Amino acid sequence: MPLAKVILIGFMGSGKSSLAPLLADSLGFDFVDADSEIIARSGCTSIGEIFSRFNATHFRDLEATVATSLRDASSLVIATGGGVIGRSENMQNLAHGGGVVVFLETSFAEVLRRVPDRSSRPLLGDLVAAEKLFRERLPVYRECADITVTTDGKNQRELCSDIITLLESYQ
């Protein structure tokens, strides 16, 4: 099946949103940031506001709606939110019709370095809980991934070219 979508998954701070436009440019694809789509559908102005005005379940339902809306998309790089892997139907919808799932594997120390202002990430506020979540999710990201790249110590250009090479050999 020809490559229709690249789905970037990984923990908060793994670089999904900043890598998506670069990768899209290299592939001649468009890109979409799932968190921005969620905010646009929420009536709120930020992820933090969705969590505080509503709750985590409402956020996850919006996230699932966005994943469903991307089911038949093509020529698209999708930067997902870190928790998208929590519902398996999200991954089925996103990968439907020629999607390749790329896991940006990043150490927890690097996540903290990349997100110095954790106030915009509701699930990064409590460091002990965040590290527990990180450990719980790691095997799930690996399980969902078609391709895994480690990101620590690499700049966005290097990562982008690594992923393009891996995508070429994956097909």
Q: Dihedral angle at the C-alpha atoms of 94, 103, 57, 123, nearest 10 degrees?
A: -160
Burial class (CB in 10 A: 0-12, 13-18, 19+), 147: middle
CB atoms within 10 A of CB 94: 26
CB of 48 to ligand S3P, least distance (A): 8
**Judged by CB under 6 A, does residue 85 bind ligand S3P?**
no
CB of 1 to ligand S3P, least distance (A): 27
Of 27 and 133, which CB lies nearer to ligand S3P in the complex structure? 133
**Judged by CB under 6 A, does residue 17 bind ligand S3P?**
yes
Of 9 and 27, which CB lies nearer to ligand S3P in the complex structure? 9
Return all residues near 138 (Cβ < 8 A) that are at least 6 apart.
none
**Judged by CB under 6 A, does residue 35 bind ligand S3P?**
yes
User: Six-digit token pair at 130?
Assistant: 């965040």
How many residues sit close enough to ligand S3P to count as binding (CB under 6 A)?
11
**Judged by CB under 6 A, does residue 15 bind ligand S3P?**
no
Of 10 and 99, which CB lies nearer to ligand S3P in the complex structure? 10
Contact set for ligand S3P, span 93-152 (CB under 6 A): 121-123
Nearest to 103 by CA among 65, 67, 151, 61: 151
CB of 2 to ligand S3P, least distance (A): 27
User: Six-digit token pair at 26?
Assistant: 């290299």
Number of alpha helices (DSSP H) and beta strands (DSSP E) in the chain: 8, 5
Of 28 and 139, which CB lies nearer to ligand S3P in the complex structure? 139
> What secondary structure does DSSP assign to 84-96, as a single string?
GGGSHHHHHHHHT
CB of 117 to ligand S3P, least distance (A): 12
Q: What is d(CA 146, CA 156) in angstroms, rounded to the nearest whole number?
A: 20
**Judged by CB under 6 A, does residue 83 bind ligand S3P?**
yes
Which residues of this protein are in contact with ligand S3P, per CB under 6 A?
A: 12, 16-17, 35, 47, 81-83, 121-123
